[in-house]
Structure 1
Amino acid sequence: MAGLRTAALAEFVGTAALLCAVIGSGIMGERLAGGNVAVALLANTLATVFALYVLIETLGPVSGAHFNPVVTLVLALRGQSGHERPHIWVTVFVLAQLAGAVAGAWLAHLMFELPVLQASTKMRTGWGQWTAEVVATAGLLFVILKAPAGRAGALVACYIGAAYWFTASTSFANPAAVTGRMLSDTFSGIAPADAPAFFVAQLAGGIIGATIACVLNSGPENKTSSRSAPID
């Protein structure tokens, strides 16, 4: 269990740092952008991409750098938990991720001298937003499962950076991120009433992305390798 405790701590720290970067850069971007939402979103995107890459590269060897309950659940369903009692592994990881998300939001508020305890009033709802979260999370799981060895950090960071701009929801793609962001009435927030639909969309997207990756790995050219061959 000592290994599990260390991995859970890495998940807590990584998720906290990620949410601190997402929310903090949103606050800073909005303050400096002078009302230009595109500039604020660009600042938010860049900070998130850089932070995510660094966190995956540094904490990946410790816990796998999930920072996301959907990623943890999908890997467990695929038998990739790496723990003899996967249900305990999933529970501990998810709790660490959710707690880390809350801590990250509170830390961002402290840095910018805002009230620590908040609830977002930013509405994010409707079929466009929900579809965007399905797409964002499906793409994220696909990238994670299909990334060549040693390249997941860069590919995941690049994908999330792109998805900030091509999805209507700005790509939360993570129930832990939703949890932290609904506790922040700032640029990156989401109203708590809108969170449940995001959770469902993200879970559906995770299953879809994992299914697509599995199908693409089942062809004859993939029977001796977990990675697909280059396309000519």
Structure 2
Amino acid sequence: MRVETIGLATLYLGDCRDILPKLPKVGAVVTDPPYGIGKDGQKRTTGGNGGRKAYDFKGWDAERPARDIFDAIRALSDDIIIWGGNYFADVLPATGKWLVWDKGQRINQSDGELAWTSYHGALRIKVLNRVELMTDGAEHPTQKPVKLMKWCIDQVRGHGAILDPFMGSGTTGVAAIQMGREFIGIEREPEYFDIACKRIEDAQRQGDFFTGAAA
């Protein structure tokens, strides 16, 4: 296991099944696990919407996480947002407040995505065109926009560190750092872990720059 500390972020290269039991309680969990639908890679495409870049198929989306991983997540916080909640409805308790990302495009991909939350309350929708990923710099086949993850963090009630046990390319971490929140991330793919480290380091450096300028 490799551990990197970057400003407010602590990042673990390893399997969350091994790391989660060793972590203390956190302020909130905001994560986007594998859905088990084989989207761990993609072929390059072209088209009127700019197409999609190619990613190697690595196999991490061959199956969804087991129930015990969700149990371990729920043991660490009462404040939880899990993207792809419709794929995990049989292992998560029924709640009222779901989040919806309307991707702002009607193409051959899904019009939107759903996130389960641990809260009871009104459903909330964020309309955000998926071309935001071009602004962020897409580094991962299932990457979410930074603005979307900042919106998620705005929804949580818990204070303290934000945990993402399926960190991927680190978008949740970038959002947390930009919002001045501590972050704990776990990723088992070395390539994506290194990308996440760089993105979060850049976000931390940018925050330090603006803090220094304000002083």
Please give the range of the TM-score, normalised by the shorter of the 2 chains: under 0.3
Q: TM-score, normalised by structure 2?
A: 0.26
Q: TM-score, normalised by structure 1?
A: 0.25
- Compare CA radii of gyration and give the structure with the larger one: 1
Which one has a larger percent strand, Structure 1 or Structure 2? 2
